Chains A and B, each alone.
Chain A
Amino acid sequence: MPAVDGVAYGLLLAIAAAGLTVAFGAGGVLNLAHGTLIAVGGYVAAATSSGTWPSLAAAVALAAIAGAAGGGVLAAATAALRGRGHLDQALLTFGVALIGADLLTAAYGPDILRPRLPEVLEATVRVAGHRYPVDRLAVLGVAVAVVAAGYVVLHRTRAGWLIRATVDDRAMIAGIGVNPRLVDAAVLVAAGALAGLAGALTTPILGVGPHTADTALLLSLIIVVCGGLGSVPGALAAALAVGIVQTVGVTSFPAVAPYLLIAAMAVVLLARRTSLPTGASA
């Protein structure tokens, strides 16, 4: 059943990468601390969930709140550098990522942590003749729900419309009396919440450890690049592909799995006819 795992993982990556791609597309902020926010969500969830349903709910909620708080800090920190262009902002988030990784390891230790789940979720069920862990099915279900909710928010609400419009045309947003910087900040906070949520949902499957932030950032960046910067549907498609390649590839050919993704990204980069937006329009 690695294909189902792949879809589940892909949806989680999509939740993680959607915020990153929108933050880049709308405000030009390349958030290199995004992986750290995912790891924060994972650690918070792993530390909070103690095997009861209320603690599980609290774990997911706290992870999202922690991610949102982190996003808020980044929004404030990068807003201070607005006049200096996107590179300084990216370097700042890079510094924050290094600090965050160190602090997380200091706080939670170098081991890989997994949350304790309610017993029902720790069991396995038979689905179409395969034994399958219940927690993965639950994660798959939640991920589908979050992606669907995200779609509705993005396409059916005013907030979603504002975000999409900012990606398309910042000047137009200012023209209708909305401060695009406010949208940038809101996007970073929402992206942080989604990253925290993704982290919390990933921990039952993969656990969370010192390498979580790096891996999550790299995969998110590959997804954002392959999906076309700023495009949420593109990110979703790319995330599903990456999820499947990662799951199937790692179990079938572990040595070449990392290269599969990088090679795929190189092909996409070379095949793209026009350059991506430079992100340097300071």
Chain B
Amino acid sequence: MVGVVALSPDPYLHATAARMLPLAVLAVSVAAVTGHAGLPTLGQVAPYAAGAYTTARLTLAGSDLALLHLLAAAGAGALTAGVIGAVLVRYRATVFLMLSLAAAELTAITAGQWRTVSGGTDGLAGIPAPRLLPGLPPLLADRTVLLYAAAVAIAATAAAMALLGGDRRTLLAALRGNEARAAASGHRVTTYLWVVHAGAGAVAGVGGALLIHTHRWITPADVGFTTAALALLAVVIGGALSLPGAAAGAGAVLTVRDVVAASLPGHAPLLLGALYVAAVYLLPGGLTALLTRLSLRLHPRSAHGTGHPAPADEAGRSTVRSTL
């Protein structure tokens, strides 16, 4: 997708695509917490905001090295999510969702009130562009920014997938499936979930850095409630256990929003809400599960094996159940 856009000659398209990537990275972070840790969250905007404001402040203070920004933002994100997670990960399911909503509100309030950092409700504008290496020109051209942002987004997603792959993926599925059994096998359930939460915070922090690198301005609304809702919606649509699915979901949500917003100006929340309702009713388990269900319909034999159901069937069913 990104490649196709990068090849097109239209700089507006480049900028639009690049500006979707921060939310895509945030959605990956939300998917890690919601899908793999099984804790549905609206609160990952907090580390996202921490990463964004860390990057903005570093740049305004004269440090314009992109790699440094990403590292600092990841650290700030992990720290923020770690602190919030220390309170939240003892809770599960709807209670966690409720508490994460408070975390999101708190982020918006803080971003609006802490003027020395955030510039108040007017936000920070005119943030200089970052440089890849000292001496190189700043990342200004739309296509360059897009390629840079895409590389970071893909790297962050790949890193998250690697960290949440293999046995660790199985282990988290075990925790989601039966916490008491996992604890009785010696697994420190709450600690594991906290680690995932903090690690996902680092990913969200990277997303925040990308927000500054692609937009070069920030207002508290950028890290507000709508962003949290968009990211969770992207995960609901993309399928919570699939990190690339969540990133693609973010792209889809933003595209629909931008296209419809052109014909229905000022009604972004209406559309967002309608998408939520539609996604909840029509897409249990998200697009990933939908694809699995469709493939089952195409190959019904594997769904009705004799006594030993095919793994594909079970994978599909478990995705549906464990997604949300």
Contacts and interface: CB of A to CB of B under 8 A. Distances in A.
Interface of A: 24, 28, 30, 32, 80-81, 84-88, 90-92, 94-103, 106, 214, 217-218, 221-222, 224-225, 229, 255, 258-259, 262, 265-266, 269-270, 275-280
B277 interface: yes
Contact of A269 (B90, B225, B279): B90
B87 A270 contact: yes
A277 B94 CA distance: 10
A269 B229 contact: no
B229 A87 contact: no
A98 B95 contact: no
Residue from A87, A225, A229, A277 having most chain B Cβ neighbours under 10 A:
A87
Given A269-B90, A275-B92, A218 B102 contact: yes
B58 interface: no
B97 A99 contact: no
The interface size bin for chain B is: 35 or more
B94 A99 contact: no
B296 interface: no
Contacts of B277: 92, 95-96, 99
Contacts of A91: 40, 232, 236, 276, 279-280, 324
A200 to B, nearest CB: 24
Nearest to A30: B94
Contacts of B121: none
B284 A279 contact: no
Contacts of B297: none
B95 A279 contact: yes
Contact of B273 (A84, A95, A214, A218): A95
Given A30-B94, A91-B324, A278-B95, A102 B87 contact: no
Contact of A221 (B101, B113, B273, B284): B101
A269 B284 CA distance: 31
Contact of A222 (B102, B232, B272, B275): B102
Nearest to B179: A278
B11 to A, nearest CB: 32
Given A91-B236, A266-B87, 16 more contacts: A30-B97, A86-B94, A87-B93, A87-B324, A91-B276, A94-B273, A98-B270, A100-B273, A102-B267, A103-B270, A214-B225, A225-B98, A278-B91, A278-B92, A278-B93, A279-B92
A131 to B, nearest CB: 32
B99 interface: yes
Contact of B98 (A30, A84, A95, A258): A30
A275 B91 contact: yes
Nearest to B93: A280
B269 A98 contact: yes
Contacts of A277: 95
Contacts of A221: 98, 101-102
Nearest to B103: A262
Contacts of A106: 267, 270
B176 to A, nearest CB: 10
Contacts of B269: 98-99, 101-102
B183 interface: no
25 contacts: A81-B280, A81-B281, A87-B93, A90-B94, A90-B97, A91-B236, A91-B324, A95-B277, A98-B273, A102-B267, A102-B273, A103-B270, A106-B267, A217-B101, A218-B102, A224-B98, A225-B98, A229-B95, A258-B113, A259-B106, A259-B109, A269-B91, A269-B99, A278-B95, A280-B94
